[in-house]
């Protein structure tokens, strides 16, 4: 039990004196509790690392947010209508995709190398948005055109297709490959039977 004898210590500061009492139990309780807390904290965060540190927690939350964003983007992309895009940002992204993936076979300006010239009006697989979408998504593996549906999202395929249709079609490449396939006007006359 706490002694509370109201004993004065022999400290005397200009007439100010002090008692020699025990610390109150609630105070000692909090004091020891802070030891226990510190120990648990130390073991938890720095020894056994059972809980993430602040910076790790931040990284984890950012990672989760990125995954959420990717899921939102994927579902928005999957719902995109099959139509050519004409926004400058989409065409610019399309150009970046083309530069990254398509240049080795279609040339930096679409003039063609292993793959056909994409700037002329001759088409092996047609020039509607559906035609572009199909040939880019599924490729023509036996002819060396890679299927891109595993690498590119629906949005990205539409972006690169729109870039080809909007910027490359009708442009003059440095070293155009000879025409392959059916010229567009002939295709139209075949379709319309005249
Ligand atoms: C490894 C070489 C290669 C790469 C890389 C490649 N292509 Fe092709 N591509 C081809 C070949 C070969 C063909 C012709 C297929 C055929 O003969 O049916 C072709 C055909 C095409 C056609 C149809 C052209 C037509 O005349 O109808 C389009 C459109 C096309 N590619 C777009 C792309 C896009 C977009 C990319 C990049 C995302 C790409 N290609 C990457 C080789 C490639």
103 CA distance to ligand 1 centroid (A)?
10
Say which residues have a Cβ less than 8 Å from residue 94's Cβ, sequence separation at least 6. Answer: 85, 159, 160, 161, 162, 163, 164, 167
Using pLDDT thresholds of 50, 70 and 90, give the confidence band for residue 194: very low
The CB of 145 under 6 Å from ligand 1? The reply is yes
pTM listed for this prediction: 0.75
Which structural domains are found in the chain, ordered by start? 8-47 (no CATH), 88-192 (1.10.760.10)
Proportion of the chain above pLDDT 70, given as a percent: 92
Give 131-164 pLDDT, tens digit per residue: 999 999 999 999 999 999 999 999 999 999 999 9
pLDDT tens, residue by residue, 10-48: 888 999 988 888 899 999 999 999 999 999 999 999 999
Measured between its terminal Cα atoms, the distance across the chain in Å is 112
């Amino acid at each position: 039990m706490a002694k509370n004898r109201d004993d004065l210590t022999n400290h005397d500061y200009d007439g100010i004196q002090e008692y020699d009492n025990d610390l109150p139990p609630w105070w000692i309780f909090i004091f020891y509790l802070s030891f226990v807390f510190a120990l648990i904290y130390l073991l938890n965060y720095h020894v056994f690392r059972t809980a993430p540190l602040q910076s790790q927690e931040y990284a984890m939350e950012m990672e989760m947010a990125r995954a959420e964003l990717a899921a939102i983007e994927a579902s928005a992309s999957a719902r995109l209508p099959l139509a050519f895009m004409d926004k400058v940002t989409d065409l610019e992204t399309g150009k970046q995709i083309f530069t990254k993936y398509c240049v080795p076979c279609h040339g930096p300006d679409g003039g063609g190398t292993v793959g056909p010239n994409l700037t002329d009006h001759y088409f092996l697989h047609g020039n509607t948005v559906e035609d572009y979408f199909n040939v880019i998504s599924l490729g023509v593996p036996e002819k060396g055109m890679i299927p891109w549906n595993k690498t590119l999202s629906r949005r990205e395929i539409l972006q690169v297709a729109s870039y080809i249709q909007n910027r490359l079609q009708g442009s003059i490449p440095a070293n155009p490959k000879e025409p392959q396939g059916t010229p567009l006007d002939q295709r139209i006359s075949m379709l319309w039977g005249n």
